[in-house]
Structure 1
Amino acid sequence: MEYLDFELPIKELEEQFNKACAIGQESEVDVTDTCKQIEKKLNETKKEIYKNLTAWQRVQLSRHPSRPYTLDYIKAICGDSFLELHGDRNVKDDKAMIGGLGKVGDQTFMFVGQQKGYNTKTRQYRNFGMANPEGYRKALRLMKSAEKFNIPVVCFVDTPGAYPGLEAEERGQGEAIARNILEMTRLKVPISVIIIGEGASGGALGIGVGDKVMMLENTWYSVISPESCSSILWRSWEYKEQAAEALKLTATDMKKQKLIDEIIKEPLGGAHSNRKKMFETVQEKIYSSYMELKNLSPEDLVKKRMDKYADMGVFKG
């Protein structure tokens, strides 16, 4: 398991605990009390560290290499019922954006989300979770298909941003994202959006419009990453921690500003520390969100969604 800088005290205690347990197993020495003391201290240290995380530490957790990605959630929630659909019917199939049909209980959903890689080879294959215009057009094609057959949509957001390459701009990156935002506001089926990792810039907004927008506890959602913000304002990446605080990008900040609807609690230590529990929690949230929205007529659904986004940024003195 990999540890972040601020998790090093946890690493030391876990190593001590494992050594003490190993001594007890290999010899006749009774180390039960010692193990209990270390375990108690370990739990206290975990609670203390994760209770007081800074904005930058949450950004680090959202990027943890062991953190589950979109396909992990879909496969855990849907099992063998998931049928991946490919291509935008125009240019090609974007591997950074995945989507398809899957079941939660007896209800079919259209799942869409950005997918990152686990090692150098798969990261290149998935373009580091940065979608090209054809990725957003594929997502829109799947959402319009879901609308046609009255299937609710679930979007998993986890991207450092839309791909900023020359070929992406040539094929209309800005237009593809803008088109998605427009079409999602008036889609006549329920849309649930869950930010499971990074929610950066227009790359996140391209599949981020929904009736119910939720963020996992240790994720972030912002117009720019802390590093890029730091490099623009301070001409250096060294001020990324200050930038993270100033951007107000955590789930708590987003909820306070009424830009999201709900924060989904993660297991102690982050989503990767107890994947099974995290998958179960997300599955419950998807189903409960659908149950809240399923009885609304298409007209009411669209009106409510449009009013929600029209009210953002409006302050009354």
Structure 2
Amino acid sequence: MNVSGRETTTSVSYFILLGFPSSPEMQLLYFGLFSVTYTLTLMGNAAIACAVRWDRRLHTPMYIFLGNFSLLEIFYVTTTVPNMLVNFLSTTKSISFLRCFAQFYFFFSFGCDEGFYLCIMAFDRYLAICRPLHYPRIMTKPLYTGLVIFGWSCGFIIFLTPVVLISQLPFCGPNIINHFMCDPVPLMMLSCSENNIIQRIYSTFNAIFMIGTFLFVLCSYALVILSVLRMPSAASKRKAFSTCASHLAVVFLFFGSIMVMYVSPGSEHPVEVQKIVTLFYSVITPLCNPLIYSLRNKDMKAALKKVFGTEIPVHKT
């Protein structure tokens, strides 16, 4: 059968997201488990964002960046989890071509923005700890406002190109994605085009972005740790290490899992492993981040108690 390029490209109008195939009873169990996880993620990150917004003691660049990072987490999980919950109760599990690529675009744009925010927070800690005398002069309101805008917008600009390129691939069937979201790797595997240039461009883009941002964060914190070790006061060392430890924990949770998936070749990972790793960085990490940031920070714990109506007195030392 002779099929023209235009007809081939438009032959697939929707995809089927298999998710986690199992019995109806297990699907209900998954629905309950991920519903609770999603709710806790929204509550935890919203609490941090509200604490930063309402407590004037947290109106500093470090906490402003953290508040925006928490808002990003809310949008990040919302791009995939609600659709996954619907599919647990659905028999068709279908998603339109347009919605699939919209999910792909927003999920990875917000994820890209998170990577930039981790760099911004690392840069802020570097200035605060390694250049404390110059920090107020450098980290001015125009600068941190510009960094906030940059952190929110850059991912959406950068990810336009990969999404447009992959959406232009011909999809002539099958249309079944063995995943719970529209991930680019299984999407490109469904293409009936034998041209792998786009896949190479996408892999190169991911490698440059993730390795570049990860190295920037590591170098920033390496300089911070060296500066902390030279501090004469043990109390100052503990406070600096406490802040850096929470940031680094989030960094390794975020970058560790996505590098496993998108920097190394996708063909080396079994389908179930891909799902579990994706689940980790898309659902579990956003759930853990509020706990990591709040449990090790006295100011944040005091602000959260204020948000929940149990404010405690804060004594100045």
TM-score, normalising length: structure 1: 0.30
Task: Point out the structure with the larger strand share.
Answer: 1
Q: Hey, which of these two has a bigger chunk of helix by percent? A: 2
Point out which structure has higher relative CO (alpha carbons under 8 A, 6+ apart).
Answer: 2
Give TM-score, length-normalised by structure 2. Answer: 0.30
